[in-house]
Structure 1
């Protein structure tokens, strides 16, 4: 599939010009050659806004976002975009979608502001919009990749304290098409014997927990013939939500059904016992 040039800007909530403080609340994106103009705006998870701008009434913040969401829908419809990646009718390449995008993101005073316009290439603008929203607004890198990195550091420290860290090294495995990196592979006499993979499963939505678990199950099953026979997942799960807990338990059961051992990443004694067995 051909990649297309896209432009996007981050939508920012900036109620106090004097302090220049702002919070990212959305993304607006245009792919001119596809006559594609669309946006995503955070209208549900507002605790970050109400907590940070605590001198504003929550109802005021909700009202501003509700009204701006309606305005963005109106502008999107002017471009002929219906929200499913299809335009209602064709435009010249320099016409509505691109023109409306640049008019919308032009710097002006107000509570709603925009970042500078940024550029990228993508085969699927709608998926790129979701990806950018997850990164800049939902900050999913902090909820999974970042926290998994912290988990990896904790496991490394536990192995070091257990005086077995020197036996583990980072290794990559590939079947020629698909490849994966593992931070802890036990190697004895140049032979990989065991994989220890820290996995964070405390994502903020049950679907994301299941998706992340499925990703690693696919990886293990895909590379099973070339991986060491012993695979251990050191996991950290969610707190507080019954639905997230249910997704977490289902994921652990799937791991075990696929001959993957599971230990509590924060229980150093359990972790080291699994490494000795």
Structure 2
């Protein structure tokens, strides 16, 4: 598939011009070749309030709505126009990315490539605004900590990183699997569930519950194979996060998966030694 060359600018929230501190809150993306123009913005102030503690959230929302309206007008005008001159799209992004002393501004223009404009917009938004790389790091750190803990426990059969399943049917990689001969006795999959967005929490757990159920469907693991998901969550959960945990706890129980907080060392050790 041909790769498309695209240009983008990161939308920034900079409430204090004096200190020039900012947080990324969106992406504007164009593809001059295909005439693509679109954007993705974060309107929730919860994440930002922890850093900009004294700033009025209402002003943030007003500024974001105003900037969003400007982008939407440009997008609609482009849809109605028959002009698909690549220079027009470059000029539009240059205009939007011009230096401005405002609480909503942008970064310098960057260049990227991808197979799909929409997928690249989503990827950039996830990376710059939602810090997808940091979330991956949190789960990686959690996994390493759980692995270290289990290595220190004397077990008759070790826990090792294994690909479970059949290459030609269905498989998944797990960091901690205990086998007795060819039989898989236990699987441990640490999950980072500290996302601000409750939807992300549910989607992460749904993914791995589905993986376990599929492996059972293909008889890659037995019905009595013990499964545990040690998790890390936000310290001070919102009501939406609490609701998400009620749902995933119910679903994990239905799938015969033990969901346990990473700090409940006694439960994890009991599972490992059982």
Closer/same/farther in 2, CA of residues 51 and 251 from structure 1, 3 Å limit: closer
Equivalent residue for 1:85? none
Equivalent residue for 1:92? 84
Equivalent residue for 2:73? 74
Closer/same/farther in 2, CA of residues 56 and 221 from structure 1, 3 Å limit: closer
Equivalences for residues 247-258 of structure 1 within 5 A? 247-258=244-255
Structure 1 residue 147: Cα displacement: 3.0
Structure 1 counterpart of 2:230, from 211, 229, 234: 234
Alpha-carbon separation, structure 1, partners of 2:14 and 2:233: 35
* Matched residue SS, 1:253: helix
Alpha-carbon separation, structure 2, partners of 1:31 and 1:21: 29
Q: Which runs of 5+ in 1 are unaligned?
A: 81-87
Equivalent residue for 1:261? 258
Closer/same/farther in 2, CA of residues 240 and 14 from structure 1, 3 Å limit: closer
Q: Answer with 155-164 or 209-218: which moved more.
A: 155-164
Contact 1:159 1:165 in 2 (8 A): no
Contact 1:198 1:233 in 2 (8 A): yes
Q: State yes or no: 1:175 paired with 2:166.
A: yes
Structure 1 residue 268: Cα displacement: 0.8
Structure 2 counterpart of 1:126, from 118, 125, 130: 118
How many residues are aligned here? Answer: 267
What is the TM-score when the length of structure 1 is the normalising length? 0.79
Contact 1:202 1:236 in 2 (8 A): yes
Structure 1 residue 2: Cα displacement: 5.9
Closer/same/farther in 2, CA of residues 7 and 179 from structure 1, 3 Å limit: farther
Structure 1 residue 98: Cα displacement: 3.5
Q: Which runs of 5+ in 2 are unaligned?
A: none
* Matched residue SS, 1:12: strand
Q: Answer with 24-33 or 247-256: which moved more.
A: 247-256
Q: State yes or no: 1:27 paired with 2:31.
A: no
Q: Answer with 206-215 or 130-139: which moved more.
A: 130-139
Q: Deviations over 1:142-170 (max 9, x none)?
A: 4x423323322332243244344982222
Alpha-carbon separation, structure 2, partners of 1:198 and 1:245: 19
Alpha-carbon separation, structure 2, partners of 1:47 and 1:276: 40
* Matched residue SS, 1:149: helix
Equivalent residue for 1:115? 107
* Matched residue SS, 1:203: coil
Structure 1 residue 271: Cα displacement: 0.7
Alpha-carbon separation, structure 2, partners of 1:156 and 1:181: 15
Q: State yes or no: 1:38 paired with 2:38.
A: yes
Q: Deviations over 1:88-138 (max 9, x none)?
A: 4543342533431233224x2423443232333334423432332232113
Structure 1 residue 214: Cα displacement: 1.4
Structure 1 residue 16: Cα displacement: 5.2
Alpha-carbon separation, structure 2, partners of 1:197 and 1:127: 28
Contact 1:12 1:113 in 2 (8 A): yes
* Matched residue SS, 2:195: coil
